[in-house]
Amino acid sequence: MDFDTRVQTETVHVPLDGGRAYDILIGRGLLARIGAHLAGLGARAVAVVSDETVAAEYGAAVTDSLARASLRTALIAVTPGEGSKSYAGFAQVCDGLIAHRIERRDLVLALGGGVVGDLAGFAAASLRRGVRFVQAPTSLLAQVDSSVGGKTGINSPHGKNLVGAFHQPSLVVADTASLDTLPLREMRAGYAEVAKYGLIDNPGFFAWCEENLAEIFAGGPAREAAVAACCRAKAAVVVRDEREDGERALLNLGHTFAHALERLTAYDSARLVHGEAVAIGLCLAFRFSARLGLCPGQDAGRVANHLALAGLPTTLAQVPGGCGDADQLLDAMRQDKKVRDGALTFILARGIGQSFIAPGIDAGAVREFLVSELG
Ligand code: NAD
Ligand code: GLY
């Protein structure tokens, strides 16, 4: 793997209190120099947790860079895909870290997409009751969303992300050149989370995305600009509401539907990856809002058109192998973490960039909507 050696790094600061503030470094070619960035964190050993695909592509360059910074290294690679965010994957990573004698003052480095970030972060939160970790996100989704904000965890057979911890990273190193090797399907999936930031509260960003879609996919300045804009948006929300007592829930626009779809497709990445589920979820959230008379139907249409242009699925009919019936979907949604006393909370929208938290949504209305969507 040749690395792009241009150095043009943008830094987004996440000013959390209690000594937990950290930087997000964004730029091309950062992985080849990651040792220099970690050297200042005072660790003696760094355990790199990755998946087999990402480890094959970047593992050697990262461990070489760490070794050049006089850090003892180890590499633990899990099977790629959502299936590794499981009890078995968690045990594999924890036991690997223990076998490599990773101590409290050492570091866990999550090198990969959101699966590796969530899994390695949860292992770091749990190992010896908490060791520090660094995120090196290599998928678009992880660079714009999952590597920032400290949510870590695994899935239960009962539902998505149901076992986990808040554990903030000490640093995030997002090498945008690593997206050059990301499969197009995964690039598209990550793009759903990019568009999400515009849909939540920034109609100007959504319009910019509509204009710059091709350039974001092609690479170059629009890609870095998109990653940095999303990180700034997420950092601001996380600082105001780290533990999701309020507005952080807005970041889950589309996710109540998405998590149910992932569960009903058995977390099988061959059928549906997280970002694809989010794309369908975003469209459902807007169409449901329109059906409730909250949002203009043309905004729901504009969302679906844009995501379709990005090559993403926008309807339940596009879930390979199907996604169950309305009752199964509703049942899966009842495991959502936003459920309070059994009542469903959705993130709905009054228009593009005007999302809001809607508690106490009537399950009957959701069911009717799902029946109409399933046609
Ligand atoms: P992923 O980690 O499975 O990565 C997608 C695929 O791309 C994998 O097969 C991986 O091997 C491959 N890949 C990654 N980087 C690559 C690269 N540079 N070159 C080649 N191949 C590469 O999936 P994802 O979409 O990155 O993350 C999805 C996960 O993130 C879900 O589990 C979701 O729940 C979680 N998530 C967490 C948060 C959070 O706040 N913690 C937020 C959003 C999503
Ligand atoms: N992706 C949702 C959150 O980090 O809160």
Instruction: Render pLDDT for 242-296 as a digit per residue (tens, 0 to 9).
Output: 999 999 999 999 999 999 999 999 999 999 999 999 999 999 999 999 999 999 9
The response to whether residue 251 sits with its C-beta less than 6 Å from ligand 2 reads yes
| Annotation marks residue 129 as catalytic | yes
Q: What's the pLDDT score for residue 367? A: 95
Other CB atoms within 10 A of residue 260 CB: 27
pLDDT digits (tens, 9 = 90+) for 129-139: 999 999 999 99
Ligand 2: residue of 234, 250, 256 to mutate (most ligand atoms within 8 A of CB) is: 234
- Topology (CATH level 3) of domain 10-181: Rossmann fold (3.40.50)
Residue tagged active-site, from 188, 234, 287, 302: 234
Residue tagged active-site, from 85, 259, 263, 338: 259
Distance 238 CA to ligand 2 centre (A): 8
Distance 249 CA to ligand 2 centre (A): 7
Q: What's the pLDDT score for residue 339? A: 67
| Annotation marks residue 6 as catalytic | no
pLDDT in tens, the chain (375 residues): 343 444 478 999 999 999 999 999 999 999 999 999 999 999 999 999 999 999 999 999 999 999 999 999 999 999 999 999 999 999 999 999 999 999 999 999 999 999 999 999 999 999 999 999 999 999 999 999 999 999 999 999 888 899 999 999 999 999 999 999 999 999 999 999 999 999 999 999 999 999 999 999 998 899 999 999 999 999 999 999 999 999 999 999 999 999 999 999 999 999 999 999 999 999 999 999 999 999 999 999 999 999 999 999 999 999 999 999 999 999 999 876 666 666 789 999 999 999 999 998 989 999 999 999 998
Closest ligand 2 atom to Cα of 252: 2
184-374 has which CATH code?
A: 1.20.1090.10
Q: What's the pLDDT score for residue 4? A: 42
**In terms of Cα–Cα distance, which of 173, 186, 166, 183 is closest to 143?**
173
| Annotation marks residue 252 as catalytic | yes
Contact 34, 65 (CB under 8 A): yes
Mean residue pLDDT of the chain comes to 95
The response to whether residue 117 sits with its C-beta less than 6 Å from ligand 2 reads no
Q: What's the pLDDT score for residue 344? A: 87
pTM given for the model: 0.96
Q: What's the pLDDT score for residue 369? A: 97
| Annotation marks residue 158 as catalytic | no
Phi first, then psi: give them for residue 174, nearest 5 degrees.
Answer: -105, 100
What string of H, E and C letters represents the secondary structure of the chain?
A: CCCCCCCCCEEEEECCCCCCCEEEEEECCCHHHHHHHHHCCCCCEEEEEEEHHHHHHHHHHHHHHHHHCCCEEEEEEECCCHHHCCHHHHHHHHHHHHHCCCCCCCEEEEEECHHHHHHHHHHHHHHHHCCEEEEEECCHHHHHHHCCCCEEEEEECCEEEEEEEECCCCEEEEEHHHHHHCCHHHHHHHHHHHHHHHHHHCHHHHHHHHHHHHHHHHCCHHHHHHHHHHHHHHHHHHHHCCCCCCHHHHHHCCHHHHHHHHHHCCCCCCCCCHHHHHHHHHHHHHHHHHHCCCCCHHHHHHHHHHHHHCCCCCCHHHCCCCCCCHHHHHHHHCCCCCCECCEEEEEEECCCCCEEEEEEECHHHHHHHHHHHHC
Q: How far apart are the first and last CA of the chain?
A: 47
What residues does each domain of the chain span? Answer: 10-181, 184-374
Q: Which two tokens stand for residue 123?
A: 């292992």
